Amino acid sequence: MSRCSVIAALVIGLAVEACAGEPLLIPATLQPSEYRGDIQIWSWNIAAASLEKLIPPFQQRYPNVHVRIDMNATNLQSRFLLSLAARVGAPDISQLQVREAPRYSVTGKLTDLTEVAKKYEKAFAPSFWESCVYEGRIYALPWDIGPCAVFYKQGIFEQYGIDVGKIETWDDYIAVGKELVAKSDGRTKMLCVPTGNMADLFEIFLQQSGGQIFDVAGRIAINSPETLETLNLLKKLLESGISGNIMPFSFEYFASFKSDTIATYPMAAWFGGLIRDYAPDTGGNWGVFRLPAYHPGGLRTSNLGGSVLVMPDQCTQKEAAWAYMEYAMCTPEAQLAQYRDFDLFPALLSTHQDPFFDEPVPFFGNQRVRRLFSLDIDEISVMYRTTDWMEAMRYVQQALSKWADKKQETPAQLMRSLEEKLSRRLNRPIAPSTEKRAEGAVP
Amino acid sequence: MNDPLLKRIWRHRHFYAFISPFFVLFAVFGLYPLLFSLYLSFVQWDGLTPMQWVGLSNFRNMIHDEIFFTSLWNTLIIGLMYIPPMFIGAFLFAVLLNSSWLKLRGLFRAALFLPVVTPMVVVAIVFTLLYGQEAGFLNWLAGKLGMGPFPWLVSENWSKPSVSVLLVWRWTGYNMVLMLAGLQGISTEYYEAARIDGANALQRMWYITLPLMRPVFVFCSIMSLIGTVYMFDEVFVLTQGGPGSSSTNFGLYLFNTSFTDFRFGYASCIAYTVAFFVFMASLLILRIRRSGTE
Amino acid sequence: MRLSHSTQQQLLRIAAYVFLAVMAVLFMFPFYWLFVSAFKAKDQIFSLPPVLWPDPWRFSNFAAVFEKTHIVQAFINSVVIACGHCTLALFLCSLAGFAFAKYPHAPGRDKLFAFVLATMMIPGAVTLIPVFVVLCKLHAINTYWAMIVPGAASAFGIFWMRQYTMENVHNDLLDAARIDGCSEFRIYWSVVLPVLKPAMAALGIILLIGSWNNLMWAFIVLRTTDMYTLPLVIYLLNGENRTPFEMIMAASVLATLPLVIAFLFFQRQFIAGITAGAIKG
């Protein structure tokens, strides 16, 4: 054996990993009081607050399970993967963005929930359930989804005598925005388009148009008429002079909830929870109208965000952890409570028929916003996320930022360069053109 | 004939015992990682799932990796923006602080050096406040002077200068102390002799101080070069490399590739490549220096 | 009218004082901002025009930090890690530096020393991932050891100590001790170490700054809240959506003060040590 191969063997020997753990099985005879443990959960923001609020009712059922919520979203992906790789430091349960879920499922470091969770397969929208499954095994439970609409400040539009009810398409929206900016002498912008961070808007617009970044087979499918439509819309918004440049989720952004710098926010349902949380005294001043369509009669909703819960393999009290996951995600009572208190739109389908959805919401000027958000949800196209979604979106965001700054490329050129870049960076082939893609779609 | 050598080694066993901790630690945390990293350059691995041998494909990807080159370009630009003012400032401060007539020396020295002692994360957060778009101190000040507001951290064109200002603030004191040490190492006899020959202050600076300070300048340049390439905390906290990728330097890009994307193989590949070029650049600086003294 | 030489010099000196004073104020301004922000109410941190002087001074920000974060634990962790790292590194470097300086006839000494110098060229960035993997295998992730040990054998430190030992430790001193029957380690401990004090002070402060402020490595190897160091706690607070800026500022002051105080105390020794070890080659 040569010296080189000894070294190579040493090197590889250290890197060999144990294989994934056994699927979680819970005997049916286990009584709720027999579940025991101290469960630590990673979560963020209003979602964390929501999980916290579910603890007392949960403990009435499972008196011997204690739950602690760690609220911190900073660089969660890195921290979570580092803990998985090091096999130490992961929580018992973690919240994840639904779009990140496939990234973690493939690692084999999450608990296989198939045996305990498969009975819920039909309880959730298929497009969300799909993100929780990898190679036929279930690794996550869907939590909330992010149907989109436009949040607006009623006071501003009343002050300038502008009617938002006439907005049907994005062109109408821009026209109203121009009127608003003109009447307020440029003080009030219609919306916030952060040139350095347009990924969220891009995702909303892309999913609304039915476009994709990947196709079902995981190939790069960003080169499409839908993407072009999306980019053209972004370009129009940027060039119309109705947008302000504030980084989303920065302190200035949250401060804008209370001021009159920004009039509307095209965002997902959970955004309402953020407003209620950061600017509780603005209640009643807000309203919601449906997302403007690309064309008259077009789809007036989209999706942004939404999350899942997962259980890392390191969790030592899996039964207790599962008890909490199941309670929080799969009981209508818990899911409705989370929507009521924190605007987390339930992924659990059975809740959408609840009369609760037709109640007026005082914070949003007594509008029936929950029903509004639930409209046409099943028409939102399924996004094929793959394991590279987060990385791909980062490249998209960087390219968009450069594009908005330099203003050299046309949307079509930008799209083509993105296609090439993504294919190369992610080592994935480019999908055949749109017509062929529809035929050749094999899962 | 081996015998005397072994004997000599045995006689100096303390020497080997005293230096062995270094070599043991180096083997575990230096040599082995170095070899492992080299191996990783040829595989695809995320630290979680099994490795895959991919040959040279990491290197091929690197050649087409636009963000990699952007990060190198950003590193260069940031370096060019902050190193010259920092060097000039540090040298000026060092010369002034080295003057015998100066009072309050300790006070000035402390004021200029304290940024070095401060945790980078704290520095970056304070600068985030100062750089705030609407409510930041600097834009308020600029407004008072009838300028701005400047998009310090929200524009692709401004992020690099903003980072550079922070770097100058942070590292001038460090270089100042090194240069001060260098100045104090210059024997006063040279100056005496020059004065007798009738050289004025500027001439003494040009013909004595600058040439004799060359080793210090070389040391500071190499440290700054390496520091800029592998800088991390500064951009990680202040801009996260943004907007877009406009302030992503190589260190941050490497960290993101390693511990956000978990592309261990590719990360090792770019780390090795850049380390090679940094090494060559350092050699070049040393060579220039040597040819200058000859 | 021509100014006399001494008037000219006087003017130049005044100009130098003004320049230094302006620069000192500029350099201290972020500290001032940090300090006053730690005593402001949250609204005051972002109010326009900026609040230059908090009114009233709120100590409650500090109370909130102690109450709502693990700052005390983090402080202890930071102290243990910084002191542990510093002590270990100083010990190893001075020991090896002494050996390289004072055993000129040990076979292979020069080659070994050249090797040590060569390792300085290896940037930490290349070994980042493998060291993480090694620590995983040693089950050292999320322990103090992961922060203390990997950087402790610093080639730069050895070089520094060797330089200082060569110039300041006299051979007759060592020989005298040997005649008295001291063991070699004893010589290092009782004869050499006391002489090395200034060099140790300077190197120690440099190591302390690096270790106390280390964010990246802490982020990678410290995995649970009870192990976090101060920079990590502050970083994680800062990234939170509901960024409690008034608390971050208070925590930042607490993280900054120890080293600032230490530096002000040891400033003279530090500068002296740096000067003594000034780069000579």
In a domain, C93, yes or no: yes
Chains that touch A (3 or more CB pairs under 8 A): B, C
Q: Which domains does chain B have, with CATH numbers?
A: 2-40 (no CATH), 58-293 (1.10.3720.10)
Which residues partner with A43 through β-bridges? A71
Give yes or no: residues C21 and C112 share one domain. no
Domain count, chain C: 2
- Distances A385 to A128, A215, A362, A393 between C-alpha atoms, Å: 11, 9, 36, 10
Q: Is residue A20 pLDDT above 90, yes or no? A: no
Strands A303-310 and B43-44: unpaired
In a domain, C281, yes or no: no
Give yes or no: residues C95 and C214 share one domain. yes
| pLDDT-wise least confident of A175-179, B220-224, C137-141 | B220-224
Strands A345-346 and A243-244: unpaired
Which domain CATH number covers C198? 1.10.3720.10
State which of C60, C90, C107 marks the end of a domain: C60
CB-based contact, C235 to chain A, within 8 Å: yes
- Distances B197 to A96, B189, B203 between C-alpha atoms, Å: 76, 12, 11
Per residue in C194-253, pLDDT (tens digit) is: 999 888 888 898 899 999 999 999 999 999 989 999 999 999 887 665 667 888 999 999
pLDDT reported for residue A8: 53
Per residue in B240-249, pLDDT (tens digit) is: 887 878 899 9
Give yes or no: residues C114 and C236 share one domain. yes
Residue B216: closest CA among chain C residues belongs to which residue?
C279
Binning pLDDT at 50, 70 and 90, where does residue C278 land? low
pLDDT reported for residue A439: 43
Give yes or no: residues C186 and C97 share one domain. yes
Give yes or no: residues C178 and C237 share one domain. yes
Per residue in C43-83, pLDDT (tens digit) is: 788 777 888 888 788 888 899 889 888 899 999 999 999 99
Across chain A, mean pLDDT equals 87
Give yes or no: residues C150 and C254 share one domain. yes
pLDDT reported for residue A214: 93
State which of C20, C37, C60 marks the end of a domain: C60
Across chain C, mean pLDDT equals 88
In a domain, C172, yes or no: yes
Per residue in B254-281, pLDDT (tens digit) is: 999 999 888 999 999 999 999 999 888 8
Binning pLDDT at 50, 70 and 90, where does residue A361 land? very high
In a domain, C199, yes or no: yes
Per residue in B49-80, pLDDT (tens digit) is: 888 899 898 998 898 888 899 999 999 999 99
Strands A93-97 and A65-71: unpaired
In a domain, C237, yes or no: yes
- Please say whether the beta carbons of A302 and A291 come within 8 A: yes
In a domain, C122, yes or no: yes
| pLDDT-wise least confident of B253-267, C33-47, C263-277 | C263-277
Instruction: Find chain A residues with C-beta within 8 A of C225's C-beta.
Output: 70
For B:15-54, CB contacts with C below 8 A are 15-16, 18-19, 21-22, 25-26, 28-30, 32-34, 36-37, 40, 47
Give yes or no: residues C71 and C56 share one domain. no
Across chain B, mean pLDDT equals 88
Of C46, C240, C242, the CB nearest to A255: C46
| pLDDT-wise least confident of A21-35, B160-174, C149-163 | A21-35
Average pLDDT over residues B132-153: 84
Give yes or no: residues C92 and C49 share one domain. no
Give yes or no: residues C51 and C171 share one domain. no
In a domain, C234, yes or no: yes
Give yes or no: residues C130 and C179 share one domain. yes
Contact call for A391 and B261, based on CB within 8 A: yes
- Find, among A286, C242, A170, the residue nearest to A178 by Cα: A170
Give yes or no: residues C130 and C258 share one domain. yes
Q: Which domains does chain A have, with CATH numbers?
A: 32-146+306-362 (3.40.190.10), 147-304+381-439 (3.40.190.10)
The set of residues, in sequence order, having a beta carbon less than 8 Å from that of A222 and lying 6+ positions away, is A211, A212, A213, A415, A418, A419, A422
The nearest CA of chain A is from the CA of B146 a distance in Å of 19
Q: With pLDDT > 70 as the criterion, what percentage of chain A qualifies?
A: 93
CB-based contact, C2 to chain A, within 8 Å: no
State which of C39, C60, C81 marks the end of a domain: C60
For B:229-248, CB contacts with C below 8 A are 229-230, 232-233, 236-237
Q: Give the three-class secondary structure for A157.
A: helix
Give CA–CA dist B117/C204, Å, rounded. 13
Domain range for C79: 67-276
Give yes or no: residues C47 and C104 share one domain. no
Contact call for A86 and C136, based on CB within 8 A: yes
For B:83-142, CB contacts with C below 8 A are 89, 93, 96, 99, 101-102, 106-123, 125-127, 129-130, 132, 134-135, 137, 140
